[in-house]
Amino acid sequence: MSESIFDLADVTVRELNQTLHANESGTFRVLNPRGAHAVAAGINSDVEVHIEGSVGYYCAGMHQRGTVRVHGNASTGLAENIMSGTVHITGSATMSAGATGHGGLLVIEGNAGSRCGISMKGVDIVVGGNVGHMSAFMGQAGNLVVLGDAGADLGDSLYEADIYVRGAVESLGSDCVEKELRPEDLETISRLLSAAGLAAEPTDFTRYGSARELYNFNVDDINAELAEGQS
Amino acid sequence: MCGIVGLFLKTDTYRSELGRHTAAMLHEMRGRGPDSAGFAVYDEGIEGQTRLTLLAEGRDFSSADWKPLAASLEDVLSAEVSVRSILDHAVFETKGDGRAARQWLIDNHPSIDVLSHGRQIELYKSVGDPDLVAERYDLATRSGTHAIAHTRMATESAVTTNGSHPFVTGADTCLVHNGSLSNHNQLRKRLEQRGESFQTENDSEVAAGYLSWRLREGDSIDEALHAALADLDGFYTFAIGVESGFAILRDPIACKPAVVAETDDWVAMSSEYGAIATLPDVQHATVFEPEPSVIYSWSLAA
């Protein structure tokens, strides 16, 4: 299948993105990204995009359906608000990778910086290296699989996402606790590793999740609230 | 927002091109700070000699215009003072006491800003488009060992030349800042009681003054930055130049961006990778995001 080449030394990111938005399918190769922002953002089709080099902020932001592969590093907000499809980078990402993602798969072969998967809402994130502090902060759904170590305050104020870490965790955030690794967790890890093309032994991971003690509503308090409302 | 860049040359391979590479990095950071810019360039300097970079904002003095001030300073220091002017900036060079010269100028000539003093540093800053600032003060042709530069989007104080970065308060100690400090007024008072003097209301100048004070008390740059982690409250990514050295520090939350790249020849840091992508041999660099509360420093000293 033929492939379209976009050299960002010659064309603007806007031209690239407009082309990606106008095509329902096809393979696109992007050269010389040189840290440009918002490369391949807003895709909502079955296109396949290969980016040869490192990108700036919000690469593949709001991604849906297609595939974006970055052969390099990415800065803040990689695949932020991803809805579906796949975003895969061979290098490392800085802050807030996969932030608020609703679905799809984000693979970072290297390390992810702080707040990886912050407020994740269903996305699956697989990180080959380490994640920085406050990763999965306020996560609501989805899975974060970390083959390396996790920084401080992992899973702080977590709602319902699952976190699997193979290495050491510097500290757990408020209301995040270690949980039993169930057979369905081993299946999830196995499935995500395979989708990410990374090798590891599922049983080597530890699962972390919400202790559910920060949920403010307590049924025993309902009468107190009603009583207060009447006074 | 603000954009910061730092380039530290570990070997002499690119030293004749320091200014050209710094200007290219600064160019990439225009979008983060379109209202003003500044840069500090370090070279090896001359032993026993101090340079002071002075600013007479908006007044393009010739060397002859600066002469009377230099003559007064010669009397105070009992040492010769040579003058080199570049638009509204001038570089005074003397074998006299640089810190005393800075203090005398601040006390007696409030219309002149002392932008820097030290053996190795020269510093230029102005309001306006960063590319124009670089061009006006000839950044691209400068050589040296390291450079720190900044593009400013003002938040904590007005858009003025002396509110622009970098800030120098101690000999050869220069700082650029992306972020905002919340305890700078209190800290400024404490530092003034300890003998530091400030020329602006800017929060970042206080951070520079804090480091100068710690270094003067005998701290190494690593020790000074370690103390800063406890005493500075707010958001910050700092790039810091010192005599023969370069350092980076981010606050414990680290929401202000930073990326570092290192090769055998150079270390570069910037707010965005786009600035680093301009550097020679970048494809072989080790690129990483500096971690919060971790002090990174490099030195040419043996």
Per-residue confidence of chain A (231 residues) as pLDDT tens digits? 589 999 999 999 999 999 999 999 999 999 999 999 999 999 999 999 999 999 999 999 999 999 999 999 999 999 999 999 999 999 999 999 999 999 999 999 999 999 999 999 999 999 999 999 999 999 999 999 999 999 999 999 999 999 999 999 999 999 999 999 999 999 999 999 999 999 999 999 999 999 998 876 666 666 665 555 544
Interface residues on B facing A, Cβ-Cβ cutoff 8 A? 28, 254-255, 257, 259, 272-278, 287-289, 291-292
Residue pair B166/B195 in contact (Cβ under 8 Å)? The answer is no
Active site residues of B: 2
Chain B residues lying within 8 Å of A95, measured CB to CB: 254-255, 257, 289
Q: Which of A56, A111, A132 sits opposite B272 (nearest CB)?
A: A56
Work out the minimum CA distance from A95 to partner chain B, whole angstroms: 8
The domains of chain B, with CATH numbers, are 3-45+129-299 (3.60.20.10), 49-119 (3.30.70.3400)
How is A83-132 classified by DSSP, letter by letter? Answer: -SSEEEESS-B-TTTTTT--SSEEEESS-B-TTTTTT-EEEEEEESS-B-
Q: Which of B272, B278, B292 sits opposite A75 (nearest CB)?
A: B272
* Count of structural domains, chain A: 1
- Residue B246: which of B302, B173, B181, B179 has the closest Cα? B173
Interface test with B, best of A32, A111, A133 (most B CBs within 10 A): A133
Distance (Å, whole) CA A209 – CA A211: 7
Chain A residues lying within 8 Å of B276, measured CB to CB: 35
Q: Which of A34, A95, A133 sits opposite B257 (nearest CB)?
A: A95
Chain B residues lying within 8 Å of A151, measured CB to CB: 291
ipTM: 0.85
Distance (Å, whole) CA A214 – CA A216: 6
Q: Which of B28, B259, B292 sits opposite A75 (nearest CB)?
A: B259
Work out the minimum CA distance from B277 to partner chain A, whole angstroms: 5
Interface residues on A facing B, Cβ-Cβ cutoff 8 A? 34-37, 54-57, 73, 75-76, 91-92, 94-95, 111, 113-114, 132-133, 151
Position A71: which residue type?
H
Q: From start to end of chain B, where are the E strands?
A: 3-9, 36-42, 50-55, 81-86, 89-94, 113-118, 121-127, 146-152, 167-170, 173-181, 234-242, 245-250, 259-262, 266-270, 286-288, 296-299
Residue given tokens 């026993």 in the structure block:
B48
Three-state DSSP state, A65: strand
Residue pair A149/A168 in contact (Cβ under 8 Å)? The answer is yes
pLDDT at residue A231, rounded to an integer: 43
CB contact under 8 A, A56 and B274: yes
Residue A42 belongs to domain with CATH number: 2.160.20.60
Q: Is A209 exposed, middle or buried (CB count within 10 Å of its CB: 0-12, 13-18, 19+)?
A: buried
The structure tokens listed for A88 are 């895969």
Successive 10-residue mean pLDDT values, chain B, 302 residues: 94 97 97 95 95 92 94 96 96 95 95 95 96 97 97 84 89 93 96 92 93 94 96 96 95 93 97 95 93 95 63
CB contact under 8 A, B287 and A54: yes
The structure tokens listed for A55 are 């990108």
CB contact under 8 A, A73 and B291: no
Angle between helices B98-108 and B63-77 (to 10 degrees): 110
Residue pair A47/A23 in contact (Cβ under 8 Å)? The answer is yes
Residue given tokens 């950044």 in the structure block:
B139
Q: How far is CA B2 from CA A149, B35, B202, B286, in A?
A: 32, 9, 14, 24
Work out the minimum CA distance from A151 to partner chain B, whole angstroms: 10
| Residue A91 lies in domain | 3-230
pLDDT at residue B162, rounded to an integer: 83
